[in-house]
Structure 1
């Protein structure tokens, strides 16, 4: 069966590279402009996610290699994320804000769902480039989940729904689709942890040869010589 790629995925993928290339601090600067448009509890969650991203993923780690090369380890976004909630409460809205801001500051474009997602999108829309945040009706969720180029689903739901959705995503073809679930609506225990942001990124390693031509080969040879 041929699955038609939803237009929202194409739009998100087109905007992805430019957004990701801003870096964490560049994205924080953009997203911080939205703070006055969010209710207090949602604003606190958004601020926490932005500050946490700067602490957890903003720095590029430099690791000298054994043969003289310079290795740089950083993170980048995974791609389009679908962010939604099965619940419609004040705390669910706070959790959804946490999901959306974590996904965005990590470098990903986001697709929200329904009226709750629309409200949050409206607060963010003018601060980010076109295509970085979109909204769809609930009827479009299934087609988005099945899309080959969806990078992840961040959802507030119960444990049974999380389990069934995990299996559904695992059975998909195409890009590996990450499930980022929150099943505790009372404490938002996963969303409020420092390492939550890591669910929205992938590692990027760059190796730079800082030795003269043939230097690495010489060093490797020396290292293998017996005394």
Structure 2
């Protein structure tokens, strides 16, 4: 596996292009591979979150402006997401991990994965090989390098496993300078209250606005007359 610093650098470089990839294309790529591999632990949460969040992640909300300009509210991925799964996350509860992974990718983030269980890590590697994503979009990093990645400019962190690990990561994030990275934590790996939250994508996105003016005075051409000599 590559060093954490190299994986993070590649993820940062890949993020802009992946974030601009249409949502439908991102989902179709993930779904086709999940179907091809018959990987139900990945496909089930993927389909679930697609059903509940497709409109949120695809359709901008139109907000007409008072002077005629067009304002659109839309969503974008936060940047590089770090997902850490300790030894308690194995193949038996892989859905908890794959729910976070699928949502992070569908939302337009690049993902760095640190998985401690060797069998689950091997399954993740198989998934990565078959996805054939652009370099840097999804990488598996040695588990013991997650602390180094926490010091990087990761924009959202997800921790799955024991409460002690969650508290440790939370303290590390609280002590960082710069942008605040939200923490997503899943301790109940079988009931998965976080993974089954239909609003989970909200934790992996940020809102943006786009304003389009058709004239220099805000979009309403009739306002131009107010500045003419005849008025």
Shorter-chain TM-score: which interval? 0.7 to 0.9
Count of residues in correspondence between the two structures: 215
Q: 2 CA distance for matches of 1:84 and 1:145? A: 10
Does the C-alpha gap of structure 1 residues 10 and 41 become closer, same or farther in structure 2, counting only changes over 3 Å? closer
Question: In the alignment, what sits opposite 1:199?
Answer: 203
User: Matched residues in 2 for 1:94 and 1:215: separation?
Assistant: 49
Question: Is 2:92 the counterpart of 1:96?
Answer: no
Distance 1:38 1:167, change over 3 A: farther
2:62 aligns with 62
Q: For the structure 1 residues 216 and 35, does the alpha-carbon distance in structure 2 shift closer, same or farther, using more than 3 Å as the test?
A: closer
Cα distance between partner residues in 2 of 1:125 and 1:47: 21
Task: Tell me the CA shift for residue 201 of structure 1.
Answer: 0.6
Aligned to 1:56, what secondary structure does the other structure show? helix
The CA deviation string for residues 90-129 of structure 1, in whole angstroms up to 9 with x for no partner, is: 4531110001011000001111123324422421444321
Q: How does 1:67-86 map to 2 (within 5 A)?
A: 67-86=67-86
What is aligned with 1:171?
175
Aligned CA distance change for structure 1 residues 52 and 190 (closer, same or farther; 3 Å):
same
Q: Find out whether 1:180 has 2:184 as its counterpart.
A: yes
Match of 2:136 in 1: 131
- Find the aligned partners of 2:218 and 2:79 in 1 and give their Cα distance: 38
Unaligned runs of 5+ in 1: 223-227
RMSD value, Cα: 2.4
Counterparts of 2:209 and 2:217 in 1: how far apart (Å)? 22
| Distance across 2 between alignment mates of 1:131 and 1:16 | 8
Task: Assess if the C-alpha contact under 8 Å between 1:91 and 1:185 holds in 2.
Answer: no
Q: Give the 3 Å change call, closer, same or farther, for CA 183–47 of structure 1 in structure 2.
A: same
Quote the offset at 1:63 in angstroms: 0.8
- In the alignment, the residues of structure 2 paired with residue 122 and residue 5 of structure 1 have an alpha-carbon distance, to the nearest angstrom, of 20
CA-to-partner distance for each residue in 1:119-171, whole Å, 9 max, x for gaps?
22421444321211111111211101111x11121111344433342232121
Q: Is the 8 A contact 1:24 1:53 kept in 2?
A: no
Q: Distance in 2 between matches of 1:46 and 1:155?
A: 19
Spell out the pairing of 1:95-174 with structure 2 (5 A cutoff): 95-114=96-115, 115=118, 116-127=120-131, 128-147=133-152, 149-174=153-178
- For each residue in 1:22-73, what CA deviation from the matched residue of structure 2 results, as whole angstroms up to 9, or x when unmatched? 1211211221221121432432122223333313321111110122211111
The DSSP-based 3-state class of the residue aligned with 1:83 is strand
Distance 1:53 1:124, change over 3 A: farther
